[in-house]
Amino acid sequence: MAVHNFNYTYAYVGIHTTPLSQNDDTAIVTEVTVAVTAVDQADSSKTLTENFSQVFSPFSIQDDGIPGDFIQVASLTNAQVINWYKAIEDEDKLNIVFTWKIYGPAEVDTITGD
């Protein structure tokens, strides 16, 4: 029993924003949600799609100001949101999550020592 490897595809689901401050309504992205579809590399009949979110803290922007490469929400593309998610979420961790969800906890117990 071991963690399986999956091929992943990603789809934009949505974002949440908050205003920069009470005096500045510039929308700051605080959460992205992406649908992740996993297909087992060894058995393509084993597939699952789940929505995952990543939360961002707006405090660094409030403290440091809006960075020069800031993207206004109106200009934000689905691909950029997906890339933000992928930059944070490690596929090795996704392999563990999808192995657990598709095959059950016994498949991942060998890596956790349980």
**pLDDT at residue number 57:** 74
Confidence of residue 81 (pLDDT cuts 50, 70, 90): very high
Tell whether the model's pLDDT for residue 111 goes beyond 70: no
Higher pLDDT, 59 or 7: 7
**pLDDT at residue number 102:** 97
This prediction's pTM = 0.86
Would you state the structure tokens that stand for residue 53, as one six-digit string?
Answer: 């979110």
Would you state the structure tokens that stand for residue 74, as one six-digit string?
Answer: 């109106």
| pLDDT tens readout for residues 14-46 | 999 998 888 888 898 999 999 999 999 999 999
Q: How far apart are CA 97 and CA 100, in angstroms?
A: 5
Which has the closest alpha carbon to 13: 72, 69, 58, 54? Answer: 54
Which of 34-43, 49-58, 95-104 shows the lowest per-residue confidence on average (mean pLDDT)? 49-58
